Structure 1
């Protein structure tokens, strides 16, 4: 499973607007944003990496005027962390990813007076991004580049779900990239503060996951931001998988 998850990340980064390959690494560059959470690298699973490869990777980041940063499943390149540490990288986080299959997916009810749907206009996409940014500490105003990025995700076969009130306001949402090798990451699950503790995050996660399976995915995966999120995802049918490392040069 680790190799399937890691390979899906490789392919998704390769689909960024300006990807760069450096040896066994892929850097997913997006010229519309300098965010290190969008512009980062990952190694190909099973790659044999040397200190010279890491130095070339750092140089490529600097040439692109981006912060050197990686995300990857640790078991796929077990010797890489030591090389990164020697090159000046520091660990941001270690997370256990969770996986869900069609036979473990549960579908909790959508809270009253809310409905789940896919955004079809740029104003609906902007409203969802605003809620996500609010939840994750970003700019509450969605930029044109943010909206275009979300639109591209949908156009490429990805899933985007928004929770809408009876008045048409966005209460939350989330999404997933188009499946790669029947695998896809669910991400960006966010709920506006006034709608939390009502089961909406579970309903959104389940709906995104269900749509992925309907589109042919066999495995959905995600990462929890804390104990509360972990419980939300387990209720939907996600179970612990392997370990991922986040590391960068400050």
Structure 2
């Protein structure tokens, strides 16, 4: 399980427009954004890694703060090397997985429409709702829309929710499937629309579309107890551990 997830992370980062490989690391860079949640690296599972490799990784970021996300069992000695190089742990998360047999699809709450965005207006509204839900500005740039379009072209699933009055209530995405695996991410519901069941409906809609496209293993990470419960109700179960670590 861990190896499948880590290999999928590597494959996803290779789809970034400015991705590079630095020794045993893949850097998923996108020069169109400064977001550290998009611009990060991950190790090739099972690769031998040295302090010189870590130094090369830092250089390869080209002045950006070097940051990594990875399944810990796939590079068990890497954390020590990174700490020795001045990195600091951001988070240690459990990831959860869902299979076609465990997925439970809840009904869409009354008064909402859950659907795949097609137009630029839909994408703009969705991204703005996600940004605001995560504490950012309620806006979306042309680069944001282009990034979502590019991910669609690679096979990513995107789902948004819209209230009856036309307001975009939230959304979520997936990574492009790789070897039957895809990450579900960015699940967000705006403050006025929470606790109605939208988070579960969005998550289930993305996951079911992935399974319909041939994915057999979907995974995600929960940011807190509330989201953990939402994902468990949809059919996700804890399966492994990941590390977020960076040097700022």
Q: TM-score range by the shorter chain?
A: over 0.9
Structure 1 position 248 matched with structure 2 position 240:
no
Structure 1 position 195 matched with structure 2 position 200:
no
Calculate the TM-score normalised by the size of structure 2: 0.98
Determine which of 107, 122, 134 is the counterpart of 1:136.
134
In the alignment, which residue of structure 1 is the partner of 2:71? 73
In the alignment, which residue of structure 2 is the partner of 1:47? 47
Deviations along 1:159-192, one digit per CA (max 9) or x if unpaired, are 0001122233211111101210100000010111
Distance (Å, rounded) in 2 between the aligned partners of 1:200 and 1:77: 36
Distance (Å, rounded) in 1 between the aligned partners of 2:222 and 2:202: 14
In the alignment, which residue of structure 2 is the partner of 1:3? 3
Give the superposition deviation at 1:22: 0.5
Distance (Å, rounded) in 1 between the aligned partners of 2:69 and 2:55: 17
Distance (Å, rounded) in 2 between the aligned partners of 1:15 and 1:137: 27
Deviations along 1:21-50, one digit per CA (max 9) or x if unpaired, are 011100011010111111100001111111
Calculate the TM-score normalised by the size of structure 1: 0.97
In the alignment, which residue of structure 2 is the partner of 1:31? 31
Distance (Å, rounded) in 2 between the aligned partners of 1:114 and 1:55: 50
Give the superposition deviation at 1:130: 0.7
1:197-236 map, 5 Å? 197-236=195-234
Distance (Å, rounded) in 1 between the aligned partners of 2:79 and 2:127: 33
Determine which of 100, 108, 117 is the counterpart of 2:98.
100
- Provide the aligned length of Structure 1 versus Structure 2: 248
Distance (Å, rounded) in 2 between the aligned partners of 1:16 and 1:149: 9
Distance (Å, rounded) in 2 between the aligned partners of 1:188 and 1:144: 18
Distance (Å, rounded) in 2 between the aligned partners of 1:138 and 1:71: 22
RMSD over aligned Cα, in angstroms? 0.8
Report if the CA contact (8 A) 2:161-2:202 is conserved: yes
Distance (Å, rounded) in 1 between the aligned partners of 2:137 and 2:164: 26
Distance (Å, rounded) in 2 between the aligned partners of 1:243 and 1:94: 7
Structure 1 position 124 matched with structure 2 position 122:
yes
In the alignment, which residue of structure 2 is the partner of 1:177? 175
| Matched residue SS, 1:49 | coil
Structure 1 position 153 matched with structure 2 position 151:
yes
Distance (Å, rounded) in 2 between the aligned partners of 1:177 and 1:37: 13
Deviations along 1:82-118, one digit per CA (max 9) or x if unpaired, are 0000000000000000000000000111100112111
Report if the CA contact (8 A) 2:133-2:170 is conserved: no
Structure 2: gaps (5+ residues): none
Deviations along 1:113-162, one digit per CA (max 9) or x if unpaired, are 11211111111101111111111122321111111111111121110001
